[in-house]
Each structure stands twice: as structure tokens, then as C-alpha cells.
Amino acid sequence: AEINGLPLAYRLGSPGKHLALNSLGILAVCLALGADLEAASRALADVKPPQGRGARLSWGEGNHRITLIDESYNANPTSMRAAFALLSSTEIGSKGRRIALVGDMLELGKDAEALHADLASSIQDLDIDLVYASGPLMRHLFDALPRAKQGAWFKNSQELAASFLDQIQPGDALMVKGSNGSRMRLVVDEIKTRLDKEQN
């Protein structure tokens, strides 16, 4: 990056274009406050997203590694698109798939159904293999997807979690996202419990 004419190379502790853009804002604030930009940029390498906000977990190694991206705490159309882009760029095993598990985006008002359906265009343009969806609003996204990308739709996160666990394959990358009220954290917890048990 170049901050106020100063070239600065640094690493982020987590991937994602949206996080890279946020880091530029952080460094601009540091510059405005007169802070040490070199030290600030080094510190960005240690920043890891918390549970529900992009935390990454993995099980296994090499082509068999399964990656879980936990975005289960919050969702809106912009953050959902950023999460899809992140999933699309996530490394998978030779037989792995990129799978989005999504719950309703809540509190979107009268346009909620259309905003859910509109997400299908983002997914079609990305390297995402399957979408599993839960909740009445996510039904609109699911129905707008090409059949080849439709995993399954469920009434709620409990049903999704119970059905999906047996679909996980070595090499898969999974991204779980939804508004907190859609209870997608349950899906994350069930996946973690299953994979922890299988690894031990």
C-alpha cells in the first residue's frame, strides 16, 4: 500500500478484500494520529477475526483439510457478498468443494425477499459449488440459484445442521453465515462437534 506517499508492505492476519480495505482505513487513522505506521502495519498481522465474525477453523492436512469459516453472527447483503467472495478464494483439496451454508438476513424491511434473491447473481459469478440455505427468506435465494448450485433448503438452522453433517467431504471449505437471529451458530457448533470427534 501507499499511505501519504510512503510505500508500506504488510500482511493481514486474515484473508479477504474487505479486510484489506478496512486495514487501509486503520492505517490512515494511525497516520492522522501520528502513530508509528511500521509498528501499526506489523500489528495487523496478529489480528484474527473472532468467533462468528470470520474465524477460521480447520481439520486434517493437505488435500484432506476441511476449512470452516464462521461468519454466523451477522449478515446483510454487503457482508454476505464479501463472505461469498472470501469463500470463493479459499483453498480446497483436490476433491473438495466450496459450500455456503446461509441463514436469513433479518431486519431488511419490505425489500427483504428481493434482497435475498439478488444474492444469487453474486454466487453465480463466483467459484462456489453448493449453497445450503435455511429460513423463509433464504428460500428466495435458494430458488434463484441454478439447480447445479442448490444443495438443499431447510425451514431452520436445526434442520440444516442435522442434515448437512453427513455431506461434509475431505477437502471441503465451508462458510456459515446468517443474522444472529437465524441461529446459524448452531450449524457451526454441530460441524465443530462432528469434526472434532472424527479427528480424535
| Cell numbers 440444516: residue | 160
How many residues does the structure list for the chain?
A: 200
Residue 69 and residue 26: Cα distance in Å, rounded? 23
Was domain 55-199 assigned CATH 3.40.50.2000? Answer: no
pTM as predicted:
0.82
Secondary element (H or E) of residue 113: helix 112-124
CA of 18: how far to CAs of 12, 55, 62, 74, in Å? Answer: 11, 15, 27, 15
Tens-binned pLDDT, residue by residue, of the chain (200 aa): 887 787 888 887 676 677 778 888 888 888 888 888 888 888 888 777 767 778 899 999 989 999 999 999 999 999 999 999 999 999 999 999 999 999 999 999 999 999 999 999 999 989 999 999 999 999 999 999 999 999 999 999 999 999 999 999 999 999 999 999 999 999 999 999 999 988 87
Q: Looking at residue 12, what DSSP letter applies?
A: -
Domain extent listing, the chain: 2-46, 55-199
Let me know: does 115 contact 105? Beta carbons within 8 Å. yes
